[in-house]
Amino acid sequence: MSLKTLTRDWEPMSYGFLDASAKRELRRKMLKAVAVPGCQMPYASREVPMARGWGTGGLQVSLTLINPKTCVKVIDQGADDSVNAASIRSFLAKVSGAPTTLDTLKADLIQSRHRIPEEVLREDQVLVLQVPNPEPLRSVQPNMSIARQMHADADYGRMWLQLYEQIVRSGRIMQGASYPSMVNGRHVMTPSPIPRWDVPKLNMAKHLTILSAGREKRIFAVPPYTRVEPLVFDDVPYKVEDHAKLTCNRSGARGFFMNEIPQEDGSSTHEISDSEYGVKAIRRTEGDDIVLGDTWYKNGEMSS
């Protein structure tokens, strides 16, 4: 008897790098996460050929959702061309044969770190956000088992304490990213390190958002048409970054989230953070046949 008689014949592995059982587990956890919006579901985070903290959580979700026909876009800090985004994109294409794109409108699956694209996502699109720290209560309750109880009891009073402290210390709310938000009126989540600018985009959005933390092994979701409300005091309104009046010095786009580019003389100019939107705006002014999608912010104001 040889080993060959005991084992199955070789057949090609399924696409998407992860084995079938891993993908099945992730699918189940995603369904659970969608069923209870904003609630963190534990999952067995698999090894992927990338270090923890570089988007392994998001990558595993993408690998599970992808098929050879899915058009993929990957963003890192708003840009499609950073090393992390480029390597994740090429990896996804390589293991699944999926086509890739930089254009938000053409993508079926968007994996992102730090930003939600400026163009409105559609019902048929899925946004995957990489989350470094999925637990919004960590800063106010270091004991994770108590934090889990607090989620179960919807005991979120201490989240406002964090905001209180920021106002007392600095005169305003300093939480720049991962702004704690109430999902569907029940669970408080940290919406990954997206800026305050992007949080209103999640509210009643048409697309499905899946947030996944690879190192912390937690997955949670904002299903389409779900309320996402940033936590605020009744008398201190929510404010997004003051970028409404800024103009991108390369594309001329105005009223979007900008990156500040310090200049040698001490001043600074700004560039649109969603780089592909900027590229499209430039190409359109040059006369190319480019479709600019509908944007969430119009003239720097969130359209509701």
> Which residues contact other proteins (rule: CB under 8 A)?
140, 149, 153, 155, 157-158, 160-161, 164-165, 167-169, 233-236
Distance CA 289, CA 4 (A): 58
For other proteins, the closer CB: 11 or 235: 235
State the minimum distance, in angstroms, from the CB of residue 169 to other proteins: 7
Give the CA distances from residue 120 to residues 11, 95, 180, 290, 291, in Å, rounded to whole numbers and listed in that order.
Answer: 42, 28, 22, 16, 13
- Tracing tokens 């919004």 back to the chain, one arrives at 136
18 vs 182, beta carbon nearer other proteins: 182
DSSP state of 196: G
Query: Based on CB atoms, which residue is closest to other proteins, 15 or 164?
Result: 164
Residue closer to other proteins (CB basis): 15 or 238: 238
**Least separation, in Å, of the C-beta of 155 and other proteins?**
7
Q: Which is nearer to other proteins, 62 or 141 (CB)?
A: 141
SS3 247: strand
Kindly state the smallest distance separating residue 172's Cβ from other proteins, in Å: 11
Question: CB neighbours of 147 closer than 8 A, spacing ≥ 6?
Answer: 135, 137, 138, 141
Report how far residue 155's alpha carbon sits from residue 27's, in angstroms, rounded to the nearest whole number. Answer: 29
Sequence-ordered list of residues with C-beta below 8 angstroms from that of 101, at least 6 positions apart, any chain: 71, 72, 73, 107
Going by C-beta distance under 8 Å and a sequence separation of 6 or more, which residues neighbour residue 189? Answer: 38, 40, 134, 136, 180, 181, 183, 211, 220, 222
Question: How many CB atoms are located within 10 Å of the residue 86 CB?
Answer: 15
- The CB-of-165 to other proteins minimum distance in angstroms stands at 5
Cα separation values, 286 from 12, 40, 134, 190, Å: 47, 46, 43, 40
CB 110 within 8 A of CB 75: yes
Q: DSSP character for 79?
A: B
Min separation Cβ 294 and other proteins, Å: 34
Shortest Å, Cβ 167 to other proteins: 6
Cβ of residue 196: shortest distance to other proteins, in angstroms?
A: 17
| Residue with Cβ nearer other proteins (167 or 291) | 167
Please identify, using beta-carbon distances, which residue of 32 and 158 lies nearer to other proteins. Answer: 158
